[in-house]
Amino acid sequence: MRVFDRSAANNSEQNLVVLAGCHSRGRPGRRRPPQIAFHDLRRDETNLERRVGHDGDVLLSPDEPSPVGLEGRGGRSPFVIVCDHAGRLLPRSLGTLGLTEDELGRHIAWDIGAGAVARRLAGALDGCVVWQRYSRLVIDCNRPIGAIDSIVTRSERTVIPANLSLPPREATVRAKEIFEPYHDAIRRTLDFREALGRPTILVAMHTFTPTYLDTPRPWHVGVLYNRDARLAERVLPLLREGELVVGDNKPYAATVLTDFSIVHHGERRALPHVELEVRQDLVADEEGQSAWADRLAGVLTAAVRGSPMLALAKSPVR
Ligand SMILES: [Zn+2]
């Protein structure tokens, strides 16, 4: 089933995008000043769809949706929401990965409810949202390329037949056509804001299954961070003001091996950031998604109000 279609992303307005070549990484002293040009992201997405891998291998056909969804570039708030596991599309060339429709509808394929919450949250905050439309069983966009669970062969108790003995060349094509365009879109969004001197606070939106390997999870929401807890330390007490069971780096602790987005885009740029995980049964329908988007918008707004967070967000250091 296709969760999102391209029409949503095509609602994006004419956008400013930082041109390629102006954001070399890891050598701050040698960075050239950014060049800015008017650019239509829709045209950019079309180009990404036509990327091919090494040796002419193609994962996505031109008529298949772009992996990247993006809304709200013109949003006035500092918040940029990213959602790595928003979709469960499968490239036609991969068939069903050897799985049944029932298995592909489960949490192993995507973060149920996360994409809807992320988009509603960005709307409530007047922020920007970038989401990824293909199943994490194709490639996990929240893992470093080459990590042991970048392309999983087993998720919980389910074996992923198409991922067994995957030739490295095919793994590379998945990275080039899904992982890279998605993270390039996030990087360009952050570069664009930095070039204009706009503050940015990064929020990674995820959801987790209520039960994992038969063990119930008591938390309603988890607040995750790795080495930079500036925003998490403000969000945690605000979420705990109510009746919620709030996980501090639970149900998972963020690490450099398991959480690519906040580490790569948040920590490396020294942007204030947090990863949020909501339990999936709470956001399985529109009512829950709306309620959680409103709750999280209120908490995030309160977390940065009157804090030095915004000043820090204005001057990212790499
Ligand atoms: Zn996730």
Query: Is residue 71 assigned to a domain?
Result: yes
Query: Is residue 1 assigned to a domain?
Result: no
| Ligand 1 is an ion; residues with CB less than 5 A from it | 85, 111, 206
Query: Is residue 138 assigned to a domain?
Result: yes
Query: Is residue 63 assigned to a domain?
Result: yes
Q: How far apart are CA 60 and CA 65, in angstroms?
A: 8
Overall domain count for the chain: 1
The alpha carbon of 132 and the centre of ligand 1 are apart by a number of angstroms equal to: 11
The alpha carbon of 40 and the centre of ligand 1 are apart by a number of angstroms equal to: 29
CATH number of the domain to which 49 belongs = 3.40.630.40
Residues in the chain predicted with pLDDT less than 50, given as ranges, are 1-55, 316-318
pTM, whole model, 2 decimals? 0.82
The alpha carbon of 196 and the centre of ligand 1 are apart by a number of angstroms equal to: 30
| pLDDT tens, position by position, 70-82 | 999 999 999 999 9
**What is residue 186's predicted lDDT score, i.e. its pLDDT?**
98
| pLDDT tens, position by position, 249-298 | 999 888 898 889 999 999 999 999 999 999 999 999 999 999 999 999 99
Domain that holds residue 167: 6-314
Query: Is residue 266 assigned to a domain?
Result: yes
The alpha carbon of 251 and the centre of ligand 1 are apart by a number of angstroms equal to: 12
Interhelix angle 286-304/230-239, nearest 10 degrees: 120
- Residues with Cβ < 8 Å from 101, sequence gap 6 or more? 1
Query: Is residue 124 assigned to a domain?
Result: yes
Q: Cα–Cα–Cα angle for 129, 10, 77, nearest 5°?
A: 30
Q: Cα–Cα–Cα angle for 132, 133, 135, nearest 5°?
A: 100
Query: Is residue 158 assigned to a domain?
Result: yes
The alpha carbon of 277 and the centre of ligand 1 are apart by a number of angstroms equal to: 8
